[in-house]
Amino acid sequence: MNQYVAFDIGGTQIKYGIVDEAGNIISHGLMDTEAHKGGLSIIEKVIAKGQKIIQDYSVEGIAISTAGQVDFNTGTIVGAGDTIPNYTGVEIKKLVTEALGLPVEVRNDVDCAALGEQWLGGHDVNNFIALTVGTGIGGAIVIDGNMYSGHTFSAGEWGYMLIEGEPFEKVASVSGLINLARQFKEDREWTGKEIFALYDEGDADIKLAVDTFFKHLAIGITNLIYIFNPQKVIVGGGITARGERFLKEIQQEVQKYIQPSIYINTEIVLAKLSNHAGMVGAVYNFIKRRQS
């Protein structure tokens, strides 16, 4: 069975591993992105790790999922936020191919997560949108079974969409939740897990922060449902470690803002592939593009 080296480049960490053509993860690991060093430095880390991996495994190619807007035809970053400085213009596909001597395919990380869910998530729908709620908020759109990326590869960048005058990802990401917690509670180095632990204990100040977070997230999801009329909204990212409790909370909140006739025809679900969706989806993207 063919095997591939997969990378999932995020603002904080780079996931890497070996994934086979059936989507099975043979091995995996993590390393710090060290994003402050800039885009080229990140690709140098990817190349160095790739060189070590291909000494131990026979692989067919390199599949890369990355933050940023990606021209998947050329494997070039065409737009990136402040999280990774000097990333725009980096020719990932060219650099990695030249260094490792293997075919390379590159695609946006949320697109890859959605492709992974489409491939192995068991969702059985042809029209869906995917959101990842982490440090920021990313999106992906599948229409009639095909990924829609927009004419400049930036469809689904709804983290920049305004909710009550603020960017969606500023008020409804994990970073947004942490900023809210600091407003309502003593300023400290919060984590999402700590915030929800206090929320579950009934802390009044934290409840204000979490309720505001859910309100903003629900308004954003409602707007997206109105625009795309998807069969499913698949929510992924670190926040979903809360599991079914989180799913029920967001479903209940969305119902406050959406027309009932639309809500009953739209299923909000959690991503099935959790933290490895980006790597799996990157491999699926590699296979599909090599077949076309």
Averaged over 92-97, what is the pLDDT? 98
3-state secondary structure of 71: strand
3-state secondary structure of 145: coil
Structural domains in the chain?
3-113+275-291 (3.30.420.40), 123-271 (3.30.420.40)
List pLDDT tens digits, range 100-142.
Answer: 999 999 999 999 999 999 999 999 999 999 999 988 899 999 9
HSE value, Cβ hemisphere, 13 Å, CA-based, for 107: 28
Task: Please tell me the least confidently modeled range out of 28-32, 149-153, 189-193.
Answer: 189-193
pLDDT attached to residue 243: 92
Which amino acid, one-letter code, is at 147?
M
Q: What are the Cα distances from residue 92, in Å, to 95, 109, 190, 219, 281? A: 5, 14, 34, 36, 17
pLDDT attached to residue 184: 86
Using only C-alpha atoms, what is the Rg of the chain? 19
Cα–Cα dist 125/114, whole Å: 12
Q: What is the mean pLDDT of the chain?
A: 95
pLDDT attached to residue 11: 85
Q: What are the Cα distances from residue 219, in Å, to 164, 212, 216, 253, 255? A: 9, 11, 5, 9, 10
Give the residues across from 64 on adjacent strands: 7, 106
List pLDDT tens digits, range 155-169.
Answer: 999 999 999 999 999
Q: Which of 84, 72, 82, 74 is nearest to 46 (CA)?
A: 84
φ and ψ of 15, to 5 deg: -90, 145
In the chain, DSSP assigns E strands to 3-9, 13-20, 25-32, 62-66, 69-71, 76-79, 104-108, 128-133, 137-143, 146-148, 162-163, 166-167, 232-236, 267-270
3-state secondary structure of 69: strand
pLDDT attached to residue 39: 95
List pLDDT tens digits, range 238-285.
Answer: 888 899 999 999 999 999 999 999 999 999 999 998 778 999 999 999
- Confidence at 223, pLDDT banded by 50, 70, 90: very high
pLDDT attached to residue 179: 93
